[in-house]
């Protein structure tokens, strides 16, 4: 019964979220374009699937993942678990190794399940014409989130400036942009924006807040934020990096085969 | 019918594979590290079934509904040939989808709390509500602007990295001047604006435009709208923080 109310509430919330989008789409469809889209009934069934799917997804997350994930983030940052006195004024960052391991694994895991990323990856695979697989892109992005969230968790522990880290990340992205293939750049930038939505944000927010409460001298209001920003910058770096490395290997292989061909020719 | 069922089962298997890392991570930490039993294991299992079914339906719906819709609208706008109508649509889509975004509402309420505790605004309910509301409108405006500029860029075929790199440089330049309390929120605001329904729609729109307009490449020109929509809120929120 409780599950049923939760389902209805979530369904209602999802439909309300969609209302502004639906209003914009309908308004322009009727007021400006003045034509019916092809396969209208199929599209409508598809949209119903999207809404129903999101509702099931959110209710399931609320039941299965979020309580456990949030409780876990709190327990792992608990002074008792870390093994220090609750009133300690300084805690070595090495006391937080399990937190970093958790940040790494949960960052990867939630990104692989992120529906927005699945959507962008499917579209990219569809138009890339075999040069890129959806799964490969998702792995590269998930690895980026792992790295980003782990560094972000370290930053909360060390108390360094958030701006400094993010700016350093941007500097790396800017340098990489000059070396990466033209076709991957827009997709890499986009993958930074899509990593952080339905699944990732609630768990990361809980982790950031838990850490900021646990580390002496950190304010949850000031230091609890920022993990999401890390999770948006680092995937760009890994996707661009993946492209640069694979292009380099491809070129080397090509160069090698040209050399052996010359030898054979002689 | 049988092939449709086979497709659905294949999607279902794919969703299970997508969720495996989460299940393994949570199980590992619960059992090995924290050494605790699962609370309400039956509820967790039912929840997982819901997540798998939901993800499968969502992906099915993407291919049937959201992708074709974005694509069709891109084609229809290109055929109509009215630049003004297309740009107006892009702006409204960005503004409309963001202003009601629940994640944004939560973040702006949080930001108002921080601002009042830091003494930037008064501690009264009204001051907080008006601060949170202005913040929401500003982020929504910035996403609208981002899509407008992004669509214009696709039409012109300008490289996206000009925009992103100048945006980053702007963020770097503004950060030292923004109040420390607002920086974290501004950086996170970029990530929360792009919801699960907006992303596929906007992506299909961009790629559809790039495919319809002659001389545009869907890979180099079609992507990039999401990136712009996650960048502009940071800049706008920090400027807001400086001005207030």
Chain segment B192-236, per-residue pLDDT in tens = 777 788 889 899 999 999 999 888 998 899 999 999 998 999 999
A266 has a pLDDT exceeding 60: no
Condensed to tens digits (0 to 9), the pLDDT of residues A170-184 reads 899 999 999 998 889
Residue A243 burial class via C-beta count within 10 angstroms: exposed 0-12, middle 13-18, buried 19 and up: buried
Q: Are B26 and A15 in contact (CB under 8 A)?
A: no
Range A134-140 average pLDDT: 92
Q: Compute the distance between CA of residue B204 and CA of residue A124 in angstroms, rounded to an integer.
A: 10
| B62 CA to centre of own chain | 16
Q: Compute the distance between CA of residue A151 and CA of residue A157 in angstroms, rounded to an integer.
A: 10
A106 has a pLDDT exceeding 70: yes
Condensed to tens digits (0 to 9), the pLDDT of residues B49-80 reads 999 999 999 999 998 988 998 888 888 888 88
- Residue A204 corresponds to which tokens in the numbers above? 């990361």
Report DSSP state, residue A36: P
Cβ-based contacts of A30 with chain B (< 8 Å): none
CB atoms within 10 A of CB B31: 12
Range A79-105 average pLDDT: 77
- How confident is the model at residue A119, as a pLDDT? 92
Cβ-based contacts of B44 with chain A (< 8 Å): 63-64, 68
Pairwise pLDDT comparison (B38 vs A55), residue with the higher score: A55
For residue B237, give the nearest of B169, B196, B185, B192 by alpha carbon. B185
What global pTM score does this model have? 0.88
B88 has a pLDDT exceeding 90: yes
Q: Are A50 and A43 in contact (CB under 8 A)?
A: no
- How confident is the model at residue B142, as a pLDDT? 94
Condensed to tens digits (0 to 9), the pLDDT of residues B102-124 reads 778 877 887 788 778 777 777 78
Radius of gyration of chain B (CA): 22
Q: Name the band, by pLDDT with cuts 50, 70 and 90, for residue A86.
A: low
Q: Which residue has the tokens 């407008």?
A: B148
For residue A111, give the nearest of A139, A73, A132, A71 by alpha carbon. A139
Pick the residue from chain B with its C-alpha nearest to A174.
B165
Q: Compute the distance between CA of residue B140 and CA of residue B119 in angstroms, rounded to an integer.
A: 25
Residue A173 burial class via C-beta count within 10 angstroms: exposed 0-12, middle 13-18, buried 19 and up: buried
Q: Name the band, by pLDDT with cuts 50, 70 and 90, for residue A122.
A: very high
Q: Name the band, by pLDDT with cuts 50, 70 and 90, for residue A88.
A: low
Residue B42 burial class via C-beta count within 10 angstroms: exposed 0-12, middle 13-18, buried 19 and up: exposed
| B190 CA to centre of own chain | 8
Does the beta-carbon distance from A127 to B225 stay under 8 Å?
Answer: no
A139 has a pLDDT exceeding 90: yes
Does the beta-carbon distance from B97 to A27 stay under 8 Å?
Answer: no
Lowest model confidence (mean pLDDT) among A187-191, A201-205, A222-226, B177-181: A222-226
- How confident is the model at residue A137, as a pLDDT? 92
- How confident is the model at residue A85, as a pLDDT? 63
Q: Which residues contact B169 (CB under 8 A, 6 or more apart)?
A: none
A265 has a pLDDT exceeding 60: no
* B209 to A236, A238, B215, B233: CA distances (angstroms): 24, 28, 11, 24
Report DSSP state, residue A37: P
Name the minimum distance, in Å, from the CA of A89 to any CA of chain B: 23
Q: Compute the distance between CA of residue A183 and CA of residue A176 in angstroms, rounded to an integer.
A: 14
Phi-psi region of A187 (alpha: psi -120 to 50; beta: other; left: phi over 0): alpha
- Residue A45 corresponds to which tokens in the numbers above? 């069934």
Q: Compute the distance between CA of residue B130 and CA of residue B138 in angstroms, rounded to an integer.
A: 12
Cβ-based contacts of B48 with chain A (< 8 Å): 60, 64
* A102 to A109, A110, A229, B174: CA distances (angstroms): 10, 12, 18, 33
Name the minimum distance, in Å, from the CA of A108 to any CA of chain B: 8
Kindly give the interhelix angle for A115-128 and A185-194, rounded to the nearest 10 degrees: 160
How much of chain B, in percent, has pLDDT values that exceed 70? 100
With b meaning 16 or more CB within 10 Å and e meaning fewer, what string describes B206-227? bbbbbbbeeebebbbbbbbbbb
- In this complex, the residue of B100, B113, B188 whose CB is nearest that of residue A226 is B188
């Amino acid at each position: 019964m409780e599950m049923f109310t939760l389902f209805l509430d979530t369904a209602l919330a999802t439909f309300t979220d969609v209302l502004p989008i639906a209003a914009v789409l309908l308004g322009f469809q009727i007021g400006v374009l003045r034509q019916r889209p092809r396969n209208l009934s199929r599209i409508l069934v598809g949209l119903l699937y999207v809404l129903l799917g999101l509702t099931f997804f959110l209710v399931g997350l609320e039941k299965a993942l979020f309580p456990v994930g949030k409780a876990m983030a709190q327990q792992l940052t608990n002074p008792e678990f870390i093994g220090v006195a609750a009133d300690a004024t300084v805690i070595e960052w090495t006391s937080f190794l399990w937190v970093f391991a958790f940040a790494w694994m949960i960052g990867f895991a939630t990104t692989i399940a992120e529906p927005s990323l699945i959507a962008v990856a499917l579209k990219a695979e569809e138009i890339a014409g075999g040069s890129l697989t959806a799964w490969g892109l998702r792995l590269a992005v998930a690895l980026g989130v792992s790295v980003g969230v782990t560094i972000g968790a370290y930053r909360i522990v060390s108390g360094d400036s958030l701006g400094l880290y993010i700016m350093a990340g941007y500097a790396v992205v800017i340098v990489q942009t000059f070396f990466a293939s033209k076709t991957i750049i827009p997709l890499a930038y986009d993958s930074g924006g899509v990593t952080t939505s339905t699944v990732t944000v609630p768990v990361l927010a809980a982790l950031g807040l838990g850490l900021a409460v646990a580390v002496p001298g950190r304010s949850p209001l000031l230091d609890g934020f920022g993990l999401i920003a890390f999770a948006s910058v680092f995937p760009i770096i890994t996707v661009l990096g993946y492209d640069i490395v694979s292009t380099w290997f491809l070129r080397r292989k090509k160069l090698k085969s040209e050399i052996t061909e010359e030898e054979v020719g002689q | 019918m049988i092939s449709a069922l086979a497709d659905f089962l294949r999607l279902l298997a794919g969703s299970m594979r997508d969720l495996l890392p989460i299940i393994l991570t949570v199980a590992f930490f619960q059992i090995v590290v924290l050494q605790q039993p699962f609370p309400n294991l039956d509820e967790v299992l039912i929840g997982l079934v819901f997540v798998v079914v939901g993800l499968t339906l969502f992906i099915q719906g993407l291919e049937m509904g959201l992708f074709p819709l974005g694509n069709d609208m891109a084609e229809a706008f290109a055929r109509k040939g009215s630049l003004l109508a297309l740009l107006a649509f892009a702006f409204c889509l960005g503004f409309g989808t963001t202003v009601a975004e629940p994640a944004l509402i939560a973040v702006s309420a949080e930001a108002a709390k921080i601002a009042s505790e830091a003494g930037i605004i008064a501690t009264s309910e009204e001051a907080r509500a008006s601060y949170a509301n202005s913040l929401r409108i500003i982020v929504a405006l910035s996403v609208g602007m981002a899509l407008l500029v992004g669509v214009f860029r696709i039409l012109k075929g300008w490289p996206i990295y000009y925009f992103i790199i100048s945006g980053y440089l702007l963020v770097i330049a503004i950060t030292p001047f923004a109040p420390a309390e607002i920086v974290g929120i501004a950086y996170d605001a970029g990530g929360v604006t792009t919801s699960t329904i907006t992303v596929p729609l906007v992506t299909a729109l961009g790629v559809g435009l790039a495919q319809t307009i002659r001389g545009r490449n869907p890979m180099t020109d079609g992507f990039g709208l999401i990136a712009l929509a996650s960048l502009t809120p940071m800049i706008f929120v920090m400027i807001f923080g400086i001005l207030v």
